[in-house]
Structure 1
């Protein structure tokens, strides 16, 4: 494999027989450093003319690059590539999220209606609450939680311990 940059008239003639123009041959050998044998033997790519289909695709809101990718890369036929609407990613993501849903949508809406955020609902269910209770039991206000805490925790236990010590 040699990378000589001189192209003989015979090589030009041989390339012409294979459908390679002199300009393409020079570009391959001198610009891209192809070996002369490969540059002569490799036929040029045939560019497709899409004509009216490109116009139809543009009328349908499909850019020409997308249209060409559909035809050349994905192998779609011209009519399908020009007429099938573009993929809407937001609709697809919504559909996927609905399919992956753990709790029914009406339960989440019920929780939100009762003033319970989604994260609170999830934390409640992860702590072992039933779905119904996690979505319907309202969140305690600071005042209410203080009252419950005062009545149930440290102070009431301390009183019980004192009463038990007096009885024994």
Structure 2
């Protein structure tokens, strides 16, 4: 690229202006991005400079931050919706994201987990029964917990069987 390529004539700025390209955009394209002059002054911008000044009063009336509005437009929202839909509070955003995250990572159906909870079975116990003990979900959610006495009797029975088999 020659040194004179960096000089942009008033005529070239005029051509760019007719193509809806701002002076700053032409300068950036030629001096920073290394575009040819012809391309810099003729290629339409991907995001044309839209004038949203008429909407700014409505934004203020509706209590919507300008940056929120511009982000909505950049994300493809309809202008009327972007101007009228109230912004969420931090708490609402947190709750929404929390619900989305729960749905995405939920391994067990919510109804089955609720059934287990109603039967006095904690989520960790339910999860252990399904993943480690290989129980089906319905059995894991409905089988009541053992009392300490039942656990002791079961252990005693298993130990006695083990000892009997050891001395045979």
Short-chain TM bin: 0.5 to 0.7
**Deviation of residue 48 (structure 1)?**
1.9
TM-score by length of 1: 0.60
Question: Aligned equivalents of 1:132 and 1:35: distance in 2?
Answer: 71
Q: 2:135 corresponds to which residue? A: 128
Corresponding residue number in structure 1 for 2:2: 3
Instruction: Tell me the distance in 1 between the aligned counterparts of 2:135 and 2:49.
Output: 64
2:115/2:141 contact within 8 Å kept: no
Deviation of 1:146 after TM superposition, in Å, equals 2.5
Which of 115, 119, 122 lines up with 1:117 in the alignment? Answer: 122
Residue in 2 that maps onto 1:78: 79
- The aligned runs of 1:132-143 (5 Å cut-off) are 134-141=141-148
User: What does 1:14-163 align with in structure 2 at a 5 Å threshold?
Assistant: 14-19=12-17, 28-42=29-43, 46-60=48-62, 62-74=64-76, 76-86=77-87, 88=93, 90-91=95-96, 94=99, 97=103, 102-105=108-111, 107-126=112-131, 127-128=134-135, 131=138, 134-141=141-148, 144-150=150-156, 152-156=157-161, 158=163
- Structure 2 portions without partners, runs of 5+: none
Task: Quote the residue 2:10 is aligned against.
Answer: 12
1-structure distance, mates of 2:16, 2:137: 77
Task: Find the aligned partners of 1:93 and 1:83 in 2 and give their Cα distance.
Answer: 25
Rg: which structure is higher? 1
The separation in 1 between residues aligned to 2:22 and 2:128, in whole angstroms, is 71
Per the normalisation by structure 2, the TM-score is 0.60
Shift of 1:79: 0.9
CA apart distance, 1:35:
2.5
Could you say what secondary structure the match of 1:153 adopts?
Answer: helix
How many residues are paired up?
A: 155
Aligned equivalents of 1:36, 1:86: Cα separation in 2 = 43
The whole-number CA distance in structure 2 between the counterparts of 1:85 and 1:22 is: 35
TM-superposed CA distance for 1:81, in Å, is 1.2
